[in-house]
Structure 1
């Protein structure tokens, strides 16, 4: 069953009322541009292509979606700005990159928040996730839902990470997000914020020792060519926010908006499935490519979580105690059912 965020339902109802008066609900010939930083064979790219295919099918080819991967249209920050300006029509970004627009999105990036996909989906598809999506139209964006990126793990060229102390002094590239920077600095690493589009070269030239990303991103970006060790820390879970340009949205008829919503919902379900399947196969593939994969002991994860309490406490205050508590309550409901 297709789930449409409340804010989109309101927007859709508004457009339907307008359409009935103006008879503007026909499908016009249009071209949408979707840009993102991952490779086209990454789940993000596969999800974007699924969206494009569905749009083509549902509009009999009238609406064409052009898919631009590997940072062709710029890094995440640049593409978000382009979506707000209507230059790019859609992208998928980690929530922390939206925290400068709406600070609550940053809470997803707090360390060791989620343990599994059930907890993730309960939060994202429930009242907490939808409440944050409802804030986006005021910032020139339409939130189409949440895709999957996966749990993030550390890779580096120096040594396996088996305990907290192994991170000491390692220069680790992180996203340009405060929670990521402070998390790794607190763990003793030298956090180095950098655009994803610059990362491969930085590792190849040893400008940085390592980085942290989900396994599918590590594999599809061929980081195994410049990294030796992957340690399954699972320190952050990254959803993606699928965002659409409000400038483009406002030009669409009610029928076109309904099709966009349907295509986005179907692409979301597909991308989540593919991403989670690829997370399993990527681990095997990275080992075959010569990377040494190690799992951290549960007690070591607990040590890291406790060591990061100052970071968690700080950002709980920053992002909103009530909002973070609402997220925690949703997670606890899932854990109580297991």
Structure 2
């Protein structure tokens, strides 16, 4: 009797499953999503956006299209945040530290010399701390996932930087965030806050002597044409927070939201891998183009960490000591496991 009952169950269930599938498909409407980002299409950001678009198309039966807008063609990071909040652009990805103007807690990601390795960063991003920041994205934004941007390193057009004293007097472009500005000033440099879209021209005209960015960004944006000294300061690790406009999100069906969330998180696995592989390739490429890469020792990095400690302490209080402690708890788990 078991087989006939099972067959009867399948016969009764089949129409329900088909109806559910049809209903699910009906909840997915044809639409095009604008995804703005400031790096070139050839960068790890570009790779992430293309992978995300591929996954969204596959999961939606080609109903939902994602169109990437690289090189800040729709505006710089802060302009794009405003556009997301207003609903004129649907998606973007950027370092979460750029959201400090909306929520000071996001400054925790930019605390100098917080992370020593990708493993430590991933432990925070993929654990309860990372989830908390996605879930509590500032007003008008929805956090979906974290991609990789890499460790920031300082370049300049004047001299090699092997120790903190070498930074003295250099005009360095800084992210438009108070923590990053004060970090550079504490190291003896003169911080000049600028949007990324203005950076190349500023270096070319010598309005600034240098900047900091992950090595992949340095290479794909052709900074080697105006900067011949690159130092592995690795002073800040930048994840990329993948965000969508709250206005757009609220207008989508549950099925569409599920597709976008799943695609963003699946893309993160490949994007992180590719980004970190690109870093090694970028080092070789810029060396071939005549850039001098100065390796900063762990001892000198520790000295730099000590020089910026007053800044770290100040912003830890502003961010919230409980928030920063949560980061350290996850990091210590990785360090303790070694």
Q: Normalization by structure 1: what TM-score? A: 0.92
8 Å Cα contact 2:24/2:255 also seen in 1 = no
- Between stretches 110-119 and 262-271, larger displacement belongs to 262-271
Taking the TM superposition and a 5 Å limit, the aligned residue runs for 1:29-178 are 29-136=30-137, 139-178=139-178
2:16 aligns with none
| 1:68-112 CA distance string (max 9 Å, x none) | 000000000000111111111110011111112121111110100
| 1:190-218 CA distance string (max 9 Å, x none) | 10100000110111111110000000000
Q: Distance between the aligned counterparts of 2:60 and 2:25, measured in 1?
A: 15
2:11 aligns with none
Q: Distance between the aligned counterparts of 2:180 and 2:49, measured in 1?
A: 26
8 Å Cα contact 1:144/1:242 also seen in 2 = yes
Q: 3-state DSSP class of the match of 2:217?
A: helix
Q: Distance between the aligned counterparts of 1:61 and 1:308, measured in 2?
A: 50
Q: Distance between the aligned counterparts of 1:238 and 1:219, measured in 2?
A: 17
Where does structure 2 lack aligned partners over 5 or more consecutive residues?
1-19
Q: Distance between the aligned counterparts of 2:65 and 2:299, measured in 1?
A: 51
User: Given the alignment of the two structures, is residue 305 of structure 1 paired with residue 313 of structure 2, yes or no?
Assistant: no
Q: Distance between the aligned counterparts of 2:228 and 2:173, measured in 1?
A: 15
8 Å Cα contact 2:146/2:265 also seen in 1 = no
Q: Runs ≥4 in structure 1, deviation > 2 angstroms?
A: 22-25
Deviation at 1:24, TM superposition (A): 9.3
Deviation at 1:25, TM superposition (A): 5.6
CA 1:159–1:23 in 2, change beyond 3 Å: closer, same or farther? closer
1:234 aligns with 234
The higher radius of gyration belongs to 2
What root-mean-square deviation, in Å, do the aligned CA atoms of Structure 1 and Structure 2 show? 1.5
Q: Normalization by structure 2: what TM-score? A: 0.92
Where does structure 1 lack aligned partners over 5 or more consecutive residues?
1-18
Number of equivalences: 318
- Between stretches 152-161 and 263-272, larger displacement belongs to 263-272
1:290 aligns with 290
Q: Distance between the aligned counterparts of 1:216 and 1:284, measured in 2?
A: 11
